[in-house]
Structure 1
């Protein structure tokens, strides 16, 4: 089969097409014929640090082509998407059966490639805030509301019954956030951003701030009400930042960094089970849909990674597994 593999150069690493063996599945695995793969920042890291001949890819969509001897709940021909331990930029990939998520016929397979990884991340970030036993409506602030994960976060938050404030770096992007369900939209480049958040909440702040990096951590903390939380889903390489610890002490604000890549197989297994149980119905009912910015043929994978590295603030990029197509992006949504 064909796959995009890391090629080590003198001072850099890139992806190149190679012919490789079809992976052999274990007793608890399935073989997926890959339709598309979601492009993630983790792929950029894996290429930059990867050894020669490694195939990246943390999520995919496709059709089950073979099942292991101990796999009883999945059948050949089923449409699925999955988180991966790598290997997604290939025509076929072996995946633990427990990592799969079902897809009905009315969900586009290309689009579905952008769902699994972010959905698991958002389950970690949002679900513990959800309490169906209380009538109190939680308020969440989603920074970078037009980013790939921001768009999904708005939809999942609304599905869980939260009031959603979405922020962007420009008022021109407000209609996108509103389209996906945001109740209020704010420009986080404004000097009065924290004040505007407070004005739009009756409790003097939000219950949770979901951010895509840690560069504005101080203001995120200020946006929280008493016992609020700040959840960071990608540090973007941030190693340290200065914050006023007295604000944390005064308001008992909790800071959490969500990191799915570092978790072991057992943790990811349990996470997928929770996702299927609690939130995946939102996808099956199409109440949560991905916002695909660009689709590239797999031969243009390196270009897709370069675009994501330079600007990951709007929409999802997917790579379609078509080695015959090699002329720029296929579609812009």
Structure 2
């Protein structure tokens, strides 16, 4: 089968197309014929850190082609998406059955490829330790609300009854955040950052903050009410941030840096089960929709990663299954 794999040189690591062996499924696995793969920051790390010939890809969507003898939760022909341990940038991938999420027959499989990894990250980072029944009327600040995770987080938060304050680095993206359900929007480059957030949330501040990197850490803490939680889901290479420990102690603020990729399979399977119960009904009922930005042919995977590195796009970057044609990047509907 065809796959995009790591090619090493003295000065760089890039992706190139190669013919590789088709994977074999174990008794508790299924084989997915990949229709599309979501592009994640962890894929960039994998390309740099992995050995020659490794195929990246942390999520995909497609059609089940074969099932292991112990699998009874799905059947050949079902449309599914899944989080992966790598291997999504290929025509086929073997996946443990407990890492699957079902999809309706009429869904756009390309768009669905961007759902599983972000959904699992949002649930684990923000809501895993919460009783969903207690989330109504809570307030959340979601940074970069127009990007792949941010747009999905806005929708999930609204579905669970939270008031959403979304930030972007550009006022041009406010309308997009509002379309996804944000109640308030503000420019995160503003000098009145904290005042705008607290003013929108009320005098007590927000209960949750979702951010990328630590450059806003001090101000995020100041935006929290007593017992608030600041979650950093991707460091983006911005590991440094200043913390006022006295404020943390006084307001009992929790700070979490979350990375789904580094967790073991048992943990990921438990998250998939929670997502299936608490978030996935909103996907199946189309109350939450994929936030797609740019779509690239699979053969253009390196271009997709280069675009992600720029960190200025909107929506999720998707690789659709085509190893022959190059199309440039096309804005999703």
Give the TM-score, by structure 2 length: 0.97
- 2:228 aligns with 228
Once residues 129 and 207 of structure 1 are traced to their aligned partners in structure 2, the CA distance between those partners, rounded to angstroms, is: 14
Bigger shift: 192-201 or 234-243? 234-243
Query: 2: CA distance between counterparts of 1:235 and 1:164?
Result: 22
In the TM superposition, what is the alpha-carbon distance from 1:137 to its structure 2 partner? Answer: 1.1
Residue 249 of structure 2 aligns to a residue in which SS?
helix
The reply on whether 1:268 has 2:268 as its aligned counterpart is yes
Can you list the C-alpha shifts for 1:245-280, whole angstroms capped at 9, x where unaligned? Answer: 111112111101111011001111111011101110
**Partner of 1:169 in structure 2?**
169
Q: Which residue of 1 is the match for residue 210 of structure 2?
A: 210
Alignment of 1:226-265 (within 5 A): 226-265=226-265
In structure 1, list runs of 5 or more residues that go unmatched. Answer: none
Q: Which residue of 2 aligns with 1:35?
A: 35
- Deviation track 1:137-185 (CA, whole Å, cap 9, x = no partner) reads 1000101111110000000000000000111112221100100000111
The range that moved more, 193-202 or 301-310, is 193-202
Question: Cα 1:332–1:202, aligned 2, differ >3 Å: closer, same or farther?
Answer: closer
Instruction: Mark the CA change 1:10 to 1:141 in structure 2 (over 3 Å): closer, same or farther.
Output: same
Deviation at 1:237, TM superposition (A): 2.0
| Alignment match, 2:81 | 81
Aligned-residue offset at 1:238: 2.9
Match of 2:21 in 1: 21
- 1:314 partner SS: coil
| Residue in structure 2 matched with residue 91 of structure 1 by the alignment | 91
CA distance in 2, matches of 1:192, 1:259: 30
Question: 1:332 Cα deviation (Å)?
Answer: 3.6
* Gap runs ≥5 in structure 2: none
Which stretch has the larger CA shift, 129-138 or 82-91? 129-138
Q: 1:5/1:135 Cα in 2 relative to 1: closer, same or farther (>3 Å)?
A: closer
Comparing 154-163 with 289-298, which one deviates more in the overlay? Answer: 289-298
Task: Give the distance between the partners of 1:46 and 1:141, measured in 2 at CA.
Answer: 30
Aligned equivalent of 1:122: 122
**1:206-238, Cα deviation, whole Å (9 max, x unpaired):** 001111221110000000011111011111123
RMSD value, Cα: 1.4
Instruction: Give the Cα separation in 2 of the matches to 1:112 and 1:143.
Output: 23
**1:186 equivalent in structure 2:** 186
CA–CA distance in structure 1, aligned partners of residues 31 and 63 of structure 2: 9
Name the stretch that deviates more: 322-331 or 82-91: 322-331
Separation in 1, partners of 2:41, 2:101: 22
Residue-by-residue CA offset, 1:89-113 (whole Å, 9 max, x unaligned): 0000000011110000221000000
1:296-332 CA-partner distances (Å, limit 9, x unpaired): 0011000000000112552110001111222322444
Q: Is the 8 A contact 1:55 1:89 kept in 2?
A: yes
TM-score, normalised to structure 1, is 0.97
